[in-house]
Structure 1
């Protein structure tokens, strides 16, 4: 810290937050006088927080605002004198520390009688951590934040809070508070913001509890267990209300009875999953038509019925509208006054919308960033989308759309990041060619009925991460341009009619996490260079960004990818998808041996080579696949023994080696003890648990195997070698020759008899020839 700082005698505010300070950087701070300092910000200096600096604060008696948040401070690191002299302190932020057992610090807070704002959030606090004097000695406290702790709301907790009559902001979000909502909350008449979300509150909420909170602007009760009937009319007289969030409770919200007229103008309303108007025809709340400041509205997951009203779509102030997972039907209405909507986000997915997508309707939403109409019954051809130049996310999947993709969705669109058109009826159309889509991240065209070959060229897709064109009728060879997409992490070509060999160029895709080429007509050998793909050799995550705007509670569009692993077909998203590494080449015609280089893929989690014509032995290098969770080599022609080193794969939970020609004893230890007989069926020469057929050997298995190998070597060396064969011929020739010649040489009588016999044979042959 510069020494000159100490000369600023009249300094009122000092902010040193998020700097790597240490004791050596503050040699003069302890002795210099900054007596006029009123505001000091020391947030986020952990782990190098200089404790001498805290001791220097003890003399700053004029301090009004102190921020020590996110420093992992405890009782041991805080000097006891710290709060003794800060009698004028009005704002104290201790959030993001570790004050669970810091009784001295928390008790010292009781002496700060001028405190108006106190933030103790994210501190691992429980019911025993908070002293009762905190509620009794702070009559001027206006803001209390103890969110993100472990408070259960023991008896007396709320009665203590209700003593803080001047409290304007109360945040108890994300605790473990149980039981009903204490009626004393209704007496905190100065409340402006009340957040009780993400707790375990239960029971019915009295309609009178909010009637006196006339200053209330923000109310959040989401993600609790409130039940019964909640009448929206209880808010009728709260003229200052701007934001209401009742999401994910067990009560039924009734906005229609009794008859009422709102005195408020909401800015934000979230009623997701609240059984909205369940006993009143499942209608969209009619009072919304009178809300002329509304910017964000979510009525999702409520089984609402009827058509989408035009007054809702064309509310001039509305920026975000989510109606997903209801039972709305009909068509998207056109504007009655031909006015353009200001909507940025529109989600009407998972409904029963029918008819076509008229061009004049989409032209009414020129500002849309996000449009999700998936899982409906939309039909007809796609409109041009020419005027929707700001569109970032378009999801029209699971409809009955047909025809060609308009140029605006495949060429020169610089904003589009998510294009999801899967599960439609583009039957008979050629695979579209995409180019100059500079922000396209995710392309999903699976199960659309596209035919023909992949375009000869697709270029300038510099940030493409996910491409799924599975389940079409595409054929031909896989082109070589995929390595031109440097960030491609997920490539799914499954369930098509591609043929030929795997292009070696795929091995250049070093960020590839998931490659699924299953259920095609590929042939040839497996490229050994697949063992060099970096993302499979070194554990990493692929960053799959979700589309979020304003708050995750409104719109959170996650990338979903259907994958088959561990024998199950599931859709993966979020963190599980980002950590997934899969190589699936099953159901093709690959031949020859499995490359041992695949054993280098130590970060691979799922490997499926089943239903091919692979031969040879299982590579012993597979023992290195420590992260492997699923291995399927079934329905091939593999021979030999299961490498016993495979039992070292502690992460392996699914194994299928069925229908091969494997032999020998099954390794039965560690994770292999958990695999059932079905993992090995169809291998007649395998034995041992979990199969019923025992291994029968005349000696211990290992010794027996060694003896067999020695016998085979001896047979090969003596009885089956070429040297042995020709040696036998030579010996037979020598013995045969000398067994005849030797007697003739040794006996004169034998020679006379032998030659007389030969002469008689010659004469006999001549007579027969003469007669013939």
Structure 2
């Protein structure tokens, strides 16, 4: 047993007292204890008794605390050390220099931080693989890294390294095969020609997380690389920003690429079809968010290797080639969204049996969608055809028994027809959006009975009847802008709902008590219906509520004070009801919640790994697509009225909307005095068309962010507070049809933009901009400090006449003297002036001769 050289106990739970047997193997050269739930203290003593150890793998244990090398410093023969994916903290100690034989060092997946030491780590001159990714290292890369002449793998992604990457450092590491500097904070410019002499280089990954890093590939002009890359990721790297944002020209000499990512660089030129033509083994091509134009051209051959093609967010025009499915038969991922593509939907796409992700959204594609997309037993994860001009009857008829879509987005098109209502069929939908189309009929039962469906939007169609009961547990439910009727179903499971949109239908009855289970709801829209009864007090218990819209119903009674408990609410619309009583003085909403709720994106994992794999000493690295996550943004919409115009406000705008609309009710009493300081973040305040009395509170001037204030059609009295002119952003102001009196505030700031319409219906008001002028008042005593000086009060007609004419005469004399001096000193100008005088004299002379000799002819002219 003492002669054992190789010991592997991976995945076993080893207690500290069972580790003592390691000392019985002093000749051990290879020890692997990965994922054994070990603590550092359990090995501190045992490892010191194995001086012959060459390979030590301790990946995935529970080592914590600072990284210490005292227990390992005696391993002068250690060649491979793997401490990755533990809980180590602190910096790399300088004692690591004692392990001078190290060839492979992996500290990835810990919580190590600080700058890399100039002394210690750089003494490991035999290093061939250095893996520090997924830590918190920061600062610049040490220049002494240029000593790693044997380094093949250099992986430092997902850290906080900053500063400029020295081109001299890169150019000296000529043994490099694999380099990944992605997801750091590097700045400045890196010349890609630094890799020119790296004949073994196969993988280069730079994915920048800021806009301060640039990769220059065009200098020096005509440089030729010695490498043939397999993987190149240059995402968000401002590639050739100073050279016209062109595709790197060195890629024309690359013919072995498997994965190429040039996304988010705004490269501006025609679509580089040659990238596909030159690289017959290409599997992933990601060119999203650039400025490529022109049409999509198919390669001259059938590419059976390409798995992912993403050219979304460009300026592509024309039609999608009808034979795209023929040339790329094995595509898993096709994203052509956010371009200007037009023409009919290509029928060949329906024959691409391997397709998992298809995104053609935000284009101008027209025509009908092949029925085979919906009737075949397909492995679709995402089908996004939203925001196009497609039409046809797509969701009726013989739908697949195993409809394997996870995300089906057909919104904002012209689809018609009724949706098949066959509850016996099995659907695996997670998200269904068919909003803003022309679908009709009743909503099928399977929509509310699917256990997987969490997001459902059927907004703005022609659905009618009742909403079906079911077991579905929705996170997002939008059935607004339809013709649904009957009471709001009390049978729905709403305990997990975040956004509930039932507005603009024909729902009747009262608010069901099941609403009190919506403890996490953020948006509740039940406006524009025929609901009645009182506003239930339990709505005040929905502590996370941000938007509450109940406009244009038949609610009566008073506004419950429990609504004052909604400390996170930002938008409340109770307008157009029959609410009575006074405005609760306890309103303390609009507290500007710290988190954003309406700029949310759904991410779903659909990653592809290239067939290319880089084999390191310890593990292999597959070229996984870095943007394999599918991002699906939910576009929230709510209707709110500003400046008497009702319009939709969408997505992240809602995070910044602050409004309170209590208009068109029967509210009485005065405007609460504390409303100003309670609603400091509010943008819109509408209390019009009620029965409010009393004066306009001066505290309203504290609403510094107010854009609209409407107090019209009430019974308010008193004057318009002059303090309101301090509202810097107000764009709409209306106090018409009240009983206000007195002089209007001074015309200054935003108040200079309001005309008489803002004040009409108040006969006792006077002053600009009204035609009625205010009567003169009794003499006003001006404090001595405010009396203007004689110079300030001087009028234009109080000028001293003697001084005026004296200065005028002196000016003319100086002018004539200056003119005479010029004529005297410049003979050329003097001759020119005398010729002009002579010409004018002759003109006058002949004029007088004609007038005297032939006066009749002269007057006829």
Same fold (TM over 0.5): yes
Choose from 429, 434, 442 the match for 2:407. Answer: 442
Q: Report the CA distance between 1:650 and its aligned residue.
A: 6.8
Separation of aligned partners in 1, 2:271 and 2:572: 50
Give the corresponding residue for 2:207.
Answer: 247
Decide which of 350, 353, 368 is 1:389's aligned counterpart: 353
8 Å contact kept, 1:405–1:432: no
Aligned to 1:743: none
Query: Match for residue 473 of structure 1?
Result: 438
Provide the C-alpha distance between the structure 1 equivalents of 2:101 and 2:693, rounded to a whole number of angstroms: 82
Determine if contact 1:433/1:457 at 8 Å carries over to the other structure. Answer: no
Residue of structure 1 in register with 2:119 after alignment = 159
Given that residues 312 and 338 in structure 2 are in contact (C-alpha distance below 8 angstroms), is that contact kept between their aligned partners in structure 1?
A: yes
Q: Distance in 2 between matches of 1:370 and 1:659?
A: 49
Q: 1:266 to 1:671 in 2, by over 3 A?
A: same
| 1:168 pairs with 2:125 | no
Aligned-partner SS, 2:507: strand
Q: How far apart are residue 42 of structure 1 and its match?
A: 4.2
Contact 2:570 2:591 in 1 (8 A): no
Shift of 1:367: 0.7
Choose which of 153, 157, 168 in structure 2 pairs with 1:208: 168
Call closer, same or farther: CA 1:603–1:180 in 2, change over 3 Å.
closer
Instruction: Measure the CA separation in 1 of the matches of 2:449 and 2:514.
Output: 24
In structure 1, how many angstroms separate the alpha carbons of the residues matched to 2:20 and 2:547?
57
| Separation (CA, whole Å) in 1 of partners of 2:270 and 2:51 | 61
Q: 1:523 aligns with which of 485, 490, 497?
A: 485
* Superposed displacement of residue 81, structure 1: 1.9
**Which residue of structure 2 aligns with residue 583 of structure 1?**
500
- Residue number among 72, 75, 80 corresponding to 1:109 in the alignment: 72
What is the alpha-carbon root mean square deviation over aligned residues?
Answer: 3.2
Q: 1:98, 1:58 → 2: CA distance?
A: 21
Structure 1 pair 280–374 and aligned structure 2 pair: CA distance change class (3 A):
same
Aligned position for 1:199: 159
2:248 to 285, 294, 300: 285
1-structure distance, mates of 2:250, 2:572: 58
Q: 1:50 aligns with which of 15, 19, 29?
A: 15
Report whether the alignment pairs 1:668 with 2:559. Answer: no
1:189 matched residue in structure 2: 149
Aligned equivalents of 2:403, 2:585: Cα separation in 1: 52
Q: Does 1:614 align with 2:531?
A: yes
Q: Output aligned runs, 1:498-513, within 5 Å.
A: 498-503=463-468, 507-513=469-475
User: What SS does the corresponding residue of 1:638 show, helix, strand or coil?
Assistant: strand
Alignment partner of 1:140 is 2:101 = yes
SS at match of 1:186: helix
What is the rounded CA distance, in whole Å, between the counterparts of 1:146 and 1:680 in structure 2? 61
Q: How far apart, in 2, do the equivalents of 1:434 and 1:322 lie?
A: 36
1:333 and 2:297 aligned: yes
Distance in 2, matches of 1:459 and 1:348, equals 39
Q: Of 25, 34, 43, which aligns to 1:60?
A: 25
Residue in structure 1 matched with residue 598 of structure 2 by the alignment? none
Matches within 5 A, 1:343-354: 343-354=306-317
**1:192 Cα deviation after fit:** 0.7
Deviation, 1:94, is 3.6
Indicate yes or no: 2:83 matched with 1:120.
yes
Q: Distance in 2 between matches of 1:205 and 1:495?
A: 53
Describe the superposition over 1:262-307 as per-residue Cα deviations: whole angstroms up to 9, x where unpaired: 2111111001111112233322223223322211100111111222
The residue aligned with 2:822 is: none
Per-residue CA distance 1:299-350 (angstroms, 9 max, x = gap): 11111122223332242110000011111111111223x3334201000111
Which of the numbers 78, 87, 106 marks the counterpart of 2:51?
A: 87
* SS of the residue 1:363 aligns to: helix
Alignment partner, residue 378 of structure 1: 341
Which residue number in structure 2 is paired with residue 568 of structure 1?
none
Classify 1:484/1:585 alpha carbon distance in 2 versus 1 (closer, same or farther; 3 Å): closer
**Is the contact between residue 36 and residue 62 of structure 1 (CA under 8 Å) also seen in structure 2?**
yes
Alignment of 1:421 with 2:385, yes or no, is: yes
The alignment partner of 1:308 has SS state of coil
Q: Secondary structure at the match of 1:210?
A: helix
For residues 178 and 396 of structure 1, what CA distance do their matches in structure 2 show? Answer: 41
User: 2: distance between equivalents of 1:429 and 1:380?
Assistant: 19
| CA deviations over 1:333-380 (Å, ceiling 9, x no partner) | 1223x3334201000111111111222333100010110001111111
The verdict on how the C-alpha distance between 1:635 and 1:89 changes in structure 2, with shifts beyond 3 A counting, is farther
Q: Which runs of 5+ in 2 are unaligned?
A: 594-657, 677-691, 696-861
**Partner secondary structure for residue 410 of structure 1:** helix
Deviations 1:596-617 (A, max 9, x none): 1222334544322123222112
Q: Is the 8 A contact 1:410 1:433 kept in 2?
A: no
The alpha-carbon distance between structure 1 residues 246 and 322, as it changes in their structure 2 partners (threshold 3 A), is: same
Q: 1:362 to 1:289 in 2, by over 3 A?
A: farther
Match of 2:753 in 1: none
Shift of the 501–490 alpha-carbon distance from structure 1 to 2, 3 Å rule, reads: same
1:80 Cα deviation (Å)?
4.1
Please give the alpha-carbon distance, in whole angstroms, between the structure 1 residues aligned to 2:587 and 2:72: 59
Larger strand percent: 2
- The CA deviation at 1:168 is 0.9
Instruction: State how many pairs are aligned.
Output: 607
The verdict on how the C-alpha distance between 1:291 and 1:599 changes in structure 2, with shifts beyond 3 A counting, is: same
Q: Normalising by the residue count of structure 2, what TM-score does the alignment of the two structures yield?
A: 0.65
Structure 1 residue 86: Cα displacement = 2.3
Q: Determine the structure 2 residue equivalent to 1:411.
A: 375
User: Does the 8 A contact of 1:329 with 1:354 survive in 2?
Assistant: yes
Maintained 8 Å contact 1:462/1:486: no
1:630-653 Cα shifts (integer Å, max 9, x gaps): 433344332334555556667666
Q: CA deviation at 1:399?
A: 0.8
* Cα distance per residue 1:528-569 (max 9 Å; x no partner): 212xx1xx33x5xxxxxxxxxxxxxxxxxxxxxxxxxxxxxx
Q: Alignment partner of 1:479: what SS?
A: coil
Q: What SS class does the counterpart of residue 207 from structure 2 fall into?
A: coil
Deviations along 1:666-706, one digit per CA (max 9) or x if unpaired, are 3738868779882655551487575478999xxxxxxxxxx
Q: 1:335 to 1:486 in 2, by over 3 A?
A: same
